[in-house]
């Protein structure tokens, strides 16, 4: 049950695109299509931004997109906006009804 | 409105016990798997425990196995977490979360373990 690996921080200017990686193993990220991404502002509850690797809840802007290649999932934020500054976490199903979260990435809008 | 509301957090001593509750509303509770997720202050998210719709399958993170017990009462639309043999490292916000990976989260309840 080791945490998925994410970069500690990423940054970009308004309007730019940033991509956050989430690296696991064939027992979690690589083995299932159940990866979600969460946005968490300070002091707030996590909010789901992407689920099932690529699906986006209706209330989430289409600037957010997800993908997966092998054991690595990715979240891309296109057209970065000030309100996107937050912590982001990935989460994957890891088999036998267990789940594992990523280490978290702080996104800074310059 | 879909809502999860946790309660029962507070201060506990090392070796002590606490019981968390989560009240669900706005959806058919018995149709969903449920999880507990925690977050130590200033740290990342950690999956804690899972329970299937009917309560017939339960899983725990290694860090809490043998000390925590997850349960549910579908008639009361409620989820529980019995926390025994508390340790300082159990200090965290505890979130009740629907489905897995979670799609709906409660606001969390803070558990502080200190002597």
Segment A30-86, tens digit of pLDDT: 999 999 999 999 999 999 999 999 999 999 999 999 999 999 999 999 999 999 999
pLDDT band at A1 (very low <50, low <70, confident <90, very high): confident
Q: Which residues pair with A18 in a beta bridge?
A: A77
Q: Which residues pair with B80 in a beta bridge?
A: B21, B71
Chain B residues whose beta carbon lies within 8 Å of the beta carbon of residue A93: 100-101
On whether any CB of chain A is under 8 Å from the CB of B76, the answer is no
The Cα of B8 is separated from the nearest Cα of chain A by a number of Å equal to 18
Query: Is the CB of A45 less than 8 angstroms away from the CB of B35?
Result: no
Residue A12 CA, distance from chain mean position: 16
The CA distance from B13 to A63, in Å, is: 46
Provide CB contacts within 8 A for B31, sequence distance 6+: B53
Q: Which of B46, B101, B108 sits opposite A36 (nearest CB)?
A: B101
Cβ atoms B6, B107 nearer than 8 A: yes
Segment B73-96, tens digit of pLDDT: 999 999 999 999 999 999 999 999
Residue B66 CA, distance from chain mean position: 15
């Amino acid at each position: 049950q080791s945490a998925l690996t994410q970069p500690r921080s990423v940054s970009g200017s308004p309007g730019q695109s940033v991509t956050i990686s989430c690296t696991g193993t064939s027992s979690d990220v690589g083995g299932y299509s159940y990866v979600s991404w969460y946005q968490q502002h300070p002091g707030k509850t996590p909010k789901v931004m992407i689920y099932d690797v690529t699906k986006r809840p209706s209330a989430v802007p289409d600037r957010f997109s997800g993908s997966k290649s092998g054991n690595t999932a990715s979240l891309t934020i296109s057209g970065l906006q000030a309100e996107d500054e937050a912590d982001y976490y990935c989460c994957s199903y890891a088999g036998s009804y267990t789940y594992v979260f990523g280490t978290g990435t702080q996104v800074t809008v310059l | 409105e879909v809502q999860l509301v946790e309660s029962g957090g507070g201060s506990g001593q090392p070796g002590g016990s606490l019981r968390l509750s989560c009240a669900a509303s706005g959806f058919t509770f018995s149709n969903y798997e449920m999880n507990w997720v925690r977050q130590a202050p200033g740290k990342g998210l950690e999956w804690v425990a899972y329970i299937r719709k009917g309560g017939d399958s339960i899983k725990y993170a290694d860090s809490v196995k043998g000390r925590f017990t997850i349960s549910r009462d579908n008639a009361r639309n409620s989820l529980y977490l019995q926390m025994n043999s508390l340790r300082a490292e159990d200090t965290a916000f505890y979130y009740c979360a629907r489905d897995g990976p979670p799609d709906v989260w409660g606001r969390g309840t803070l558990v502080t373990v200190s002597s």
